[in-house]
Amino acid sequence: MKAAFFGPEATFTDIAVQSVFPEASRVAYRTIPECLEAVKTKQVDMAVVPLENALEGSVNLTVDYLYHEELPPIRAEIIVPIEQHFMVHPANAGAWRETEKIISHSHALAQCHQFLRREFRHAEVEAMGSTAAAAKYVSEHPELKWGAIANEMAAELYGLEIVRRAIHDYPFNHTRFIVLSNEELHIEKTPDFLKSTIMVTLPTDKAGSLHQVLSAFAWRKINLSKLESRPLKTGLGNYFFMIDLNHSLEEKLVRFSLEEIHALGCTVKELGTYYRYMADK
């Protein structure tokens, strides 16, 4: 099984893949769109990409690709506990407080915003492709007084020294990753629970449309666990909605509610019914 993941090696996405698919042959891609393209064109059997962080919210690039592109279904979700560490090249470990620039993924920088303000008010901060890409860059440039924010696996793999541990601003830090595949997956790990994701576009300018969509689920006692709007990219004030249901899309009552939502003039894109897996179990 070939698994595309948002790389390079030792990103949090890589941790997600290794925890649920220990046997997979992992193929690192530099960007989220490249991972999704790889599974769409069947160069790989599955793609694993980040979708949402508990502190920073959705990974917009992933959400937008799920809406605008025709991709294979979501087959699984992996929840990874996120611990961000501050690391430097061993040659600079003694003088880490003099770090001039700190690099990482934009989400990771945002998760450590207070730490950066408190400890490195005068340092420059710059976003890189991923946390592991930042760690790799620091390891290749001992001449620079730069530091990276990344995980423990990245520190080990790229030979960096962690000088401050667990620097994320809030202790409850988890990220959701999704697995897309053309085929059904056989996963050995015990799943947590079942859920589904859909995307809904409302008919233009009809008062009460969102209320009607939510009512279609509410009176049938269909439990929603997420509702988020994203710009449709067709003009200000135009949105689509991403909705997570704690149900299968095959359930009769879910089918009835989706039919009703269609009849109201909405467009519904079904992204899949899948199990959730915890990386730490």
- Print the binding letters for residues 39-58 with ligand PRE: x by CB under 6 A, - otherwise: -----------x--x-----
Minimum CB separation from ligand PRE for residue 27, in Å?
15
Phi then psi for residue 4, to 5 deg, are: -80, 140
Burial class from Cβ neighbours inside 10 Å (0-12, 13-18, 19+) for residue 224 reads middle
Among 36, 48, 59, 116, binds ligand PRE (CB under 6 A): 59
**Nearest-approach distance from CB 135 to ligand PRE, in angstroms:** 9
User: Does residue 175 have an active-site annotation?
Assistant: yes
DSSP string for 106-168: HHHHHHTHHHHHHH-TTSEEEE-S-HHHHHHHHHH-TTS-EEEEE-HHHHHHTT-EEEE----
Q: Is 107 in the site for ligand PRE (CB under 6 A)?
A: yes
Q: Which residues contact 72 (CB under 8 A, 6 or more apart)?
A: 39, 40, 180, 181, 182
Does 99 bind ligand PRE (CB under 6 A)? Our answer is no
**Among residues 19, 175, 196, 257, which is the contact residue for ligand PRE, using CB under 6 A?**
175
Question: Which segment (36-44, 89-97, 105-113, 183-191) binds ligand PRE by CB under 6 A?
Answer: 105-113
Q: What's the CA gap between 189 and 130, in Å, rounded? A: 27
Residue 19 found at the interface with ligand PRE (CB under 6 A): no
Q: What CA–CA distance (Å, rounded) separates 20 from 277?
A: 8
Q: Which two tokens stand for residue 35?
A: 């991972």
From 62, 131, 175, 197, active-site residue: 175
Instruction: Pick the piece of the chain touching ligand PRE (CB under 6 A) from 4-12, 157-165, 233-241, 255-263.
Output: 4-12
Residues linked to residue 179 through DSSP beta bridges, in sequence order: 48, 76
As a dihedral over the C-alpha atoms of residue 213, residue 217, residue 218, residue 222, rounded to 10 degrees, the angle is -160
Interface with ligand PRE by CB under 6 A: which range of 130-138, 189-197, 222-230, 272-280? Answer: 130-138
β-strand pairing of 2-6 with 25-29: parallel
Cβ distance to ligand PRE smaller for residue 11 or 139: 11
Candidate list 86, 177, 217, 240, residue with the active-site label: 177
Stretch that binds ligand PRE, among 129-137, 188-196, 227-235, 246-254 (CB under 6 A): 129-137
Q: What is the distance between the alpha carbons of residues 152 and 83, in angstroms, rounded to a whole number?
A: 8
Catalytic residues: 175, 177
Binding residues (CB under 6 A) for ligand PRE: these are 6, 11-13, 50, 53, 59, 82, 105, 107-108, 130-132, 175
